[in-house]
Amino acid sequence: MKAVAAKSKVLIIDDDPGVRESLGFVLNHDFDVLFAETMAEGIDRFVHGGPSTVILDLNLPDRNGIDGLREIRRLDAAIPVIILTAYGSIDRARAAIRLGADDFLSKPFRSAEIIRTVQESVLRQRRVGQRNRLIEKLQSDNSRLTRQLRESSRMATLGKTSAEYAHDLCGPLTAVIGYVEFLGNYLRTDKVESGGCGEKVLTMLDAIENNVNRCYDMSRAWLLHSDSRVRSQQPVGICELLHELVGDLFSGPNGPQVLLHCNPSAEENCAVVGDRLQLYRSICNVVVNATQAVPATGGAIGISCCVKNDHAEIQISDNGCGIDADQLSDVFRPYVSSKVVGQAQGTGLGLYISKKIIEDHNGTITISSKRGKGSDVRIRLPLMNHLNQA
């Protein structure tokens, strides 16, 4: 028998029995409603009841609602608080918003407005909890990995493989940090609008989760002394992989303009045989290089995929700074970088790793570029159907 999910708790702190009764009647169907007549009773219910949202009246017999809001914020800085006020107290409600309240409702209120506001507050609280759990998981995995690396007697044998994986971890970890920082600011400062926001937050959280999981997979391969060789022979849909990569790197609000186009025939038939994680690493390195090359304003990246002569052909183009002609012959050499020495991404390993992985999949990678004109990278991989026929 499937367990029934527990209802989210809503705490109503108001000394008016009529208000408490009407709010309870409206919210009781969707939420577990807790009541308090005074601020002291409300703080006790808050501490022991674990509500997801608080509805707080500004006028209470024992405490000013503003002071009560300050105390709630000291106990929990993230819990959504909805101020309940009469029309004559709008200025005080706005002051409460400045002190950290999330929204306010004016008396008399409408049932639909109350339900919508509370539902959005509970949704926001759930997303904050999910974000915090993902951050804790990331920190735990990072601590575990650091501890194991320090204790491992095999550290001396990691060598260049360690540098490769450390380089690749920078990409998804950078995405995680960016999304988490933006999401934290968004949830703290923005009121949730009716509709749409839930999907936006879910998209960002999905990107965080995908990148955290990818870091975990890479760290396990690292600890097992894995390298860039193909260790898995499975069908990999290239267009699906590209959509996932673009979603992971660019679904946030900032960054260059990115256009992904997969030829219709490629969407249906563009499958290769190989190691999905390694192919993702290879293409991701090229795309990350492009994001670092384009200008902060007006940067543009084009990614396309088509089927050509029994091969999947992937093209990544950018309008970035480009590469000097005398440096092009060295772009695939390890530890050679056209970026500024000392920068986090200036290790000179990205394209070297990409080329090694692509060649291990019987493919080719080429680059053309001009200083000030951008770069164009083409990756060709044999199609699965062609390999089967061969």
Which pLDDT score is estimated for 247? 85
Helix ranges restricted to H, the chain: 17-27, 39-49, 65-75, 90-98, 111-151, 159-189, 197-223, 238-250, 264-269, 276-293, 350-360, 384-389
pLDDT given for residue 150 in this prediction: 62
| pLDDT value at residue 263 | 86
For the chain, what's the residue count? Answer: 390
- Say what the pLDDT of residue 366 is: 95
- Which residues of the chain does CATH 3.40.50.2300 include? 9-109
pLDDT of residue 50: 86
CA distance 362 to 221: 22
Structure tokens at 379: 């990756």
Picking from 332, 359, 360, 362, the residue whose alpha carbon sits closest to that of residue 348 is 332
**CATH number corresponding to 234-389:** 3.30.565.10
Joined tokens for residue 213? 């999981």
CATH of 9-109, one of 1.10.287.130, 3.30.70.890, 3.40.50.2300, 2.40.10.480: 3.40.50.2300
The rounded distance, in Å, linking the Cα atoms of 32 and 259 is 46
| Pairwise CA distance, residues 178 & 213, whole Å | 16
Copy the structure tokens of residue 326: 């005398």
DSSP state of 57: E
* Nearest partner of 381 among 288, 281, 310, judged by Cα: 310
Identify the residue whose tokens are 């790197």: 249
Beta bridge partners, 304, equal: 261, 315
Q: How far apart are CA 139 and CA 147, in angstroms?
A: 12
Task: Give the mean pLDDT per block of 10 residues along the chain (390 residues).
Answer: 66 88 87 90 90 86 83 85 69 66 73 81 78 80 71 52 63 68 62 53 70 66 50 86 88 76 82 91 90 87 92 94 86 68 53 90 94 93 73
Residue 119 sits at the vertex; the CA angle it makes with 113 and 122, to the nearest 5 degrees, is 140
The whole-model pTM stands at 0.48
User: Tokens 């703080």 label which residue?
Assistant: 43
Bridge partner residues of 377 (DSSP): 316, 367
233: amino acid identity, one letter? Q
Q: Cα–Cα distance between 347 and 340 in angstroms, integer?
A: 10
Q: What is the DSSP letter of 89?
A: G
- In the chain, list all ranges with CATH 3.30.565.10: 234-389
- For residue 367, the model assigns a pLDDT of 94
* Residues 19 and 47 sit within 8 Å (Cβ to Cβ): no
Distance CA 35, CA 359 (A): 66
Cα distances (angstroms) measured from residue 311 to each of 134, 228, 306, 343: 39, 22, 8, 36
* φ and ψ at residue 337, rounded to 5 degrees: -135, 145
Q: Exposed (0-12), middle (13-18) or buried (19+): which is 170, by Cβ within 10 Å?
A: middle
CA distances from 27 to 51, 65, 132 (A): 14, 22, 27
Q: What pLDDT sits at residue 240?
A: 93
